[in-house]
Amino acid sequence: MIELPDLVAGGLTAGTLSALALGGVLLRSRRQLTRQRRETAALRTQLDGRAKVFTAEVEHLALRRLPAAARQQAHAHVTVPGPVQTQTADTPLGAALESVLDGLRIELAAQAVRIDAAAQAGMRGATREIQAALYRLQDALRALQQRYDEPELAQTLFQLDHENEQSLRRAQVAAVVCGAWVGLAREESHLIDAVTGGQARLPGYHRVKVHNHLQPGTALVSHAVEPVAIIVAELLDNALRHSAPDTDIVVNLEHVHHGVCVTIDDAGLGMTQDERARAQRLVAGREPILLTELGDPPRMGLAAIGQLTRQFDLGVDVSSPSPYGGVRAVLRVDSHLLSRIDPSEKPPAASAPRSTRVTAQPDPAPAVPAPASPSHGYGTEQDDETVPAGSGHHGTAQDDVSPTTRETGGLPQRRRRPRVTGTAASAPARPARRPEESAAALGALQSGTAAARSATGPDAADAPDAEPEPVRARSSAEGAADDTEQTDYEGGAAR
């Protein structure tokens, strides 16, 4: 039997042990609680720091990086700044911020395309109205040319017609850049006529010297005539605008392995490597060009060339400097765009440079200067200043204009140098043409022009709702080289 003192002692011992165990548990719990509080405080501090970093990065994104990314869409030289903390770039936060920038760029690009498409549609409508008005003005000028015989008035009308042609060219290039069609397909024409037709659309055409090394009869298929004329006009205009007025622009037409090349060399300022790369990107036509990328005011010449090279499978290269110190531009016309015309049945324009590859017997040349006639002053010799076809004097009937009319004013002029022989040296000078002869010459011009146009039918521009872009068909007497009715230039494209 257990005694009472022993029982009390055992109880006290058990209570003491329980108290000690409970105290140990409480002590460990307090220590854990203290450690958890310290960890919580550290986490709170770390979270506050990350929140401040996140807030700073978001503010930096909104105030600096997003505006810079938006400006970069229009100005490629603008640099988008990085994050505030450089170490943020490799974190999920940095990746998320870059995703925001990428999304902004994509949306801005899409919006720019939509806005540019709307601007192009508006410009197409405006150029359509302008072209229709210029066509009507052209018809009125031609009617006046046929009605009046006074040489001075005829010369003034020719000058106005040439200015009108240049306005048509500018309107057409703007329409081409905005996606409009160049016009109806013309009949097959001599390639040299298309080149001189493009030359004639420019105010400084007399500085262009064309050397024709093609086989006689080398021609373009119908749908390539107008694009080639537009491209040549734009490349020549670029060369004329960026070279001194007392220098020549040299044009060479050569056969190559896969077709024909038209090489244009100027002695101008040239371009830097970056400018040449940008110009080549424009003329290549491999990617769409926005109006906002063409400057203010827009420079549309090279952009129009790029549109045409893409649409008609032509090739243009402006990546090489010219041996004259300026820029060399090369237009390549592949064989599938070439055709052949019998030059005896349908000769090129009388003012077009003769080919150096002529194999047929040359026409007999007179030993003395030709007598006065309505066509004097526009022969086919090429040792003098050559007047390009289509320079506001429409059709081959322009040969009937008198020398007096040709040598007054700023339109194409030709001064024939007679061959000096023993007979010619002693021959007396030909007397000046009388007013009656000049009137007869202008009458012959008007009659020939009217006869040439009678085969083309009514003008499309006369219809109220007619599409002005299509170029009116010309008869073989007028030739495609006189296609001065369409094109435009923006004033020195991209140089």
Digit-coded pLDDT (tens) for 16-54: 878 878 888 888 888 888 888 888 888 888 787 778 888
Lowest mean pLDDT among 143-147, 242-246, 339-343, 406-410: 406-410
How many C-beta atoms surround the C-beta of residue 65 within 10 A? Answer: 21
Residue 387 has pLDDT above 90, yes or no: no
- Name which of 137, 178, 183, 168 is nearest 467 in CA terms: 183
Would you state the CATH architecture of domain 122-358+387-403+465-482? 2-Layer Sandwich (3.30)
Q: Over range 281-286, report the average pLDDT.
A: 88
What is the reported pTM?
A: 0.60
User: What is the structure's pLDDT at 266?
Assistant: 92
User: What is the structure's pLDDT at 265?
Assistant: 94
Which range, 61-75, 121-135, 280-294, 303-317, is most confident?
303-317
User: What is the structure's pLDDT at 128?
Assistant: 85
State what percent of residues in the chain have pLDDT above 70.
71
User: What is the structure's pLDDT at 398?
Assistant: 37
How far is Cα 143 from Cα 471, in angstroms, rounded to an integer?
Answer: 19
Residue 388 pLDDT level (bands cut at 50, 70, 90): very low
Lowest mean pLDDT among 92-101, 187-196, 360-369: 360-369
pLDDT, mean over the chain? 74
Residue 208 pLDDT level (bands cut at 50, 70, 90): very high
Q: Give first-to-last CA distance, the chain, whole Å.
A: 122
User: What is the structure's pLDDT at 438?
Assistant: 52
Q: What is the DSSP string of 349-398?
A: -TTSPPPTT--SPPPPPPSSPPPP-TTTT--S--SSPPPPTTSSS-SGGG
CB 395 within 8 A of CB 338: no
How far is Cα 149 from Cα 414, in angstroms, rounded to an integer?
Answer: 21
Place of tokens 């023993």: 422
- Name which of 168, 170, 236, 161 is nearest 205 in CA terms: 236
* 457 compared with 252, residue with greater pLDDT: 252
Query: What is the Cα Rg of the chain in Å?
Result: 39
Per-residue pLDDT of 94-122, as tens digits, reads: 888 889 999 988 998 888 888 888 888 88
Q: Over range 416-431, report the average pLDDT.
A: 43
User: What is the structure's pLDDT at 476?
Assistant: 33
Residue 219 has pLDDT above 90, yes or no: yes
Residue 211 has pLDDT above 50, yes or no: yes
Residue 483 pLDDT level (bands cut at 50, 70, 90): very low
Q: Over range 478-488, report the average pLDDT.
A: 37
Give the start-to-end residue ranges of the domains of the chain: 7-65, 122-358+387-403+465-482
* 185 compared with 401, residue with greater pLDDT: 185
How many C-beta atoms surround the C-beta of residue 7 within 10 A? Answer: 10
Adjacent-strand bridge partners of 457: none
Residue 332 has pLDDT above 90, yes or no: yes
* Alpha helices, DSSP H, located in 85-150: 92-147
Where would I find the beta strands (DSSP E) of 257-323? 259-265, 315-321
Residue 230 has pLDDT above 90, yes or no: yes
- Name which of 380, 337, 398 is nearest 188 in CA terms: 337
- Name which of 357, 407, 358, 355 is nearest 378 in CA terms: 407
User: What is the structure's pLDDT at 60?
Assistant: 86
Q: Does an H or E element contain 155, and which?
A: helix 151-177
Residue 151 has pLDDT above 60, yes or no: yes
* 185 compared with 366, residue with greater pLDDT: 185
Q: Over range 229-252, report the average pLDDT.
A: 92
User: What is the structure's pLDDT at 442?
Assistant: 55
Residue 2 pLDDT level (bands cut at 50, 70, 90): low
